[in-house]
Amino acid sequence: MRSLVHGFAIAGESTAVALRRYGHEVTVTDDAIDSAKEQRAVDAGFSLGSLPDGDALDTFVRQFDLIAPAPGVPEHHHLIECAQREGVTISSEIEIAYATEQQRDGGPRPILAVTGTDGKTTTCELAVAMLRAGGIHSLAVGNTDVPFIEALEQPLDAYVVECTSFRLAWSDNFRADAAVWLNLAPDHLNWHRDMSSYEAAKAKIFAQQLRSDTAIGGSHDPIVMTHLQAAPSRQVTFGFEGDYYFSNGVLMSPRGPIISTSEMTRSLPHDITNALAAAALVMESGLVGVQSVAAALREFEAPVHRLQFVAEVNGVRWFNDSKATTPHAASAAIRAFPTSVLIAGGRNKDLDLSPMAAEGGALRGVVAIGEAASEISDVFGGLVEVVTAGSMETAVDLAARLADGHGEVVLSPGCASFDWYPSGGYPARGDHFIRLVRERMNQEVSELSGGAK
């Protein structure tokens, strides 16, 4: 079987290596070849090439039985359009991994899946922590540091697959024993042709489930609920109302109380809904019970770059929420605090940023950054004081001035990071912010120490 893997980064490399191991004749290509990628390909035993242009691309594509695009290859890419014209199968790495796992000696291991616009990574990590608390050796895979296809070789008891729309779009058979759809808001409209395409990709999370499987949806999201009601599997809800719900300071399940929020390491509104979603996922799959869920929630620390507390400096608490690359995610961060200064902006992903302004009453000021600074200014102008920064250093200085010794400063951009951080993405943006805040903290400590002498 001849296969083409296009896009040679983490997922692409893992897919190419796996397909070769399965006996495929593998060709690897990329749109942006540099010396680092070339060397990475050589180290993996491949020769990295470019796609041909024009009519030559049709001839090139026809020689393959399978095309596996990396997650970053959009659905309007000329390779994808050509493959669709030529009738060549397009499969994501989770689709290939799923098919492979079904052929495993001894049978496939349980698969849990998570999708949604925001909260996927945290919910996956929560589910893994709950499973491990119950003695189930599991791992968050897919849109993580470990692609699903790479994890097949590990001695795991179960998988928790983070399913982005990029991966679901090219998955026609993938199914999970239990799957949760958290929410849906505009995102990735620079990858999908339109919002309908984005929604349709997400909807594949339930499409192939069996009657014995479980579909779980956020009761607060009407679009998710519409798809949940059409799921072919058993249907379960979560949220501030539903089968898994929050009442009088306690997370509740169909099997009774789970845990009081006072026992959790953090219990902001989205922490509660993420915890309920993860609890439903692991309990409805029958893998662990209430005790394991509660034990995990007592110890769980949210992943970095997700409303991560950085430091308190001169009476102001600073939070890094660089992972918030959509207005929907940034709005959740704004709602989390009674008063705060927001640092927002970056590279807009063709999204409407105005929903962020619906939460503007909770803000003391906004620092607009990056390519979308003028859009941020337009959105918040007239609602709250808005200042513009040309660098993260300036943004931190201006945010400190706006905070004036009170409340919180939150980096929750609502946009991607590739304008200022083209190679490092949102982690590089968050790390830079953390470093600058901690420098301010060290300066404060130094000044206080000097004054005490």
Q: Could you give the CA distance from residue 2 to residue 156 in angstroms, rounded to a whole number?
A: 30
Angle at 349 between CA 268 and CA 369, to 5 degrees: 70
CATH number at residue 229: 3.40.1190.10
Same structural domain for residues 323 and 371?
yes
Same domain, 163 and 189: yes
The stretches of 368-414 forming alpha helices (DSSP H) are 373-380, 392-403
Q: What is the pLDDT of residues 390-447, one digit of tens each?
A: 999 999 999 999 999 999 999 999 999 999 999 889 999 999 999 999 999 988 766 6
Phi, psi dihedrals of residue 211, rounded to the nearest 5°: -60, -30
| Domain boundary residue, one of 299, 334, 353 | 299
Tokens of 167: 């991966």
Question: Residue 260 domain-assigned?
Answer: yes
Tell me the CB-side half-sphere exposure of residue 159, using CA atoms within 13 A.
31
Domain of 193 in residue numbering reads as 101-299
Number of domains in the chain: 3
Instruction: Give yes or no: residues 39 and 181 share one domain.
Output: no
The pLDDT assigned to 387 comes to 98
Of the candidates 307, 272, 279, 313, which has an alpha carbon nearest to the alpha carbon of residue 294? 279
Indicate whether 96 belongs to any domain: no
d(CA 116, CA 106): 32
Distance of alpha carbon 78 from alpha carbon 273, whole angstroms: 39
Contacts of 453 (CB under 8 A, 6+ apart): none
Q: What is the CA radius of gyration of the chain?
A: 23
Check whether residue 27 and residue 51 sit in a common domain.
yes
Residue at 140 is within a domain = yes
Q: What CATH number is given to the structural domain containing 25?
A: 3.40.50.720
Same-domain pairing of 282 and 414: no
Residue 266 lies in a domain: yes
Contacts 24+ apart (CB under 8 A), 240-245: 240/272, 240/273, 242/276, 243/280, 244/276, 244/277, 244/279, 244/280, 245/219, 245/276
Whole-structure pTM value: 0.86
What is the mean pLDDT for each group of 10 consecutive residues in the chain (453 residues)?
96 96 97 92 96 95 98 96 97 98 96 96 97 98 95 97 97 98 92 95 98 97 98 97 97 98 93 97 98 97 91 95 94 91 95 88 92 97 95 98 95 96 94 96 72 46
Tell me, what's the pLDDT at 302? 84
Q: What is the DSSP letter of 325?
A: -
Q: Are residues 123 and 200 both part of a single domain?
A: yes
Tell whether 342 and 373 lie within a shared domain: yes
Note whether residue 95 is domain-resident.
Answer: no
Task: State pLDDT tens for residues 3-47.
Answer: 999 999 999 999 999 999 999 999 999 999 999 899 999 999 999
Q: Are strands 245-247 and 234-238 parallel, antiparallel or unpaired?
A: unpaired
28 and 46, same domain (yes or no): yes
The H-or-E segment that residue 212 falls in is none
Rounded CA separation 116/242 (Å):
18
Domain assignment present for residue 389? The answer is: yes
Residues 394 and 257 in one domain: no
Q: In this structure, are 143 and 222 located in the same domain? A: yes
The answer to whether residue 55 sits within a structural domain is yes
- Of 242, 274, 299, at which residue does a domain stop? 299
Residue 228 lies in a domain: yes
CA separation for the pair 164, 170 (Å, rounded): 11
The crossing angle, in degrees rounded to 10, of helices 55-62 and 78-86 is 60
The tokens describing 339, both together, are 């008063």
Give the end of a domain, one of 71, 90, 109.
Answer: 90
Of the candidates 53, 92, 87, 47, the one whose C-alpha atom is nearest the C-alpha of residue 73 is 92
Give the up-direction half-sphere exposure of residue 227: CA atoms within 13 A in the CB hemisphere: 26
Do 194 and 257 sit in the same domain of this protein? yes
What does the pLDDT read at residue 445? 66
Pair 68, 140 in one domain: no
Distances (CA, A) of 230 to 111, 116, 225, 226: 21, 17, 9, 7
Interacting residues of 15 by C-beta distance below 8 A, sequence separation 6+: 5, 68, 70, 93, 96, 147, 149
* Cα distance between residue 192 and residue 352, in whole Å: 15
Q: Residue 411: beta bridge partners? A: 320, 343
Number of H helices, E strands in the chain: 16, 20
Q: Looking at residue 355, which CATH number applies to its domain?
A: 3.90.190.20
CA distances from 208 to 177, 230, 406 (A): 10, 12, 51
Q: Are 179 and 215 in contact (CB under 8 A)?
A: yes
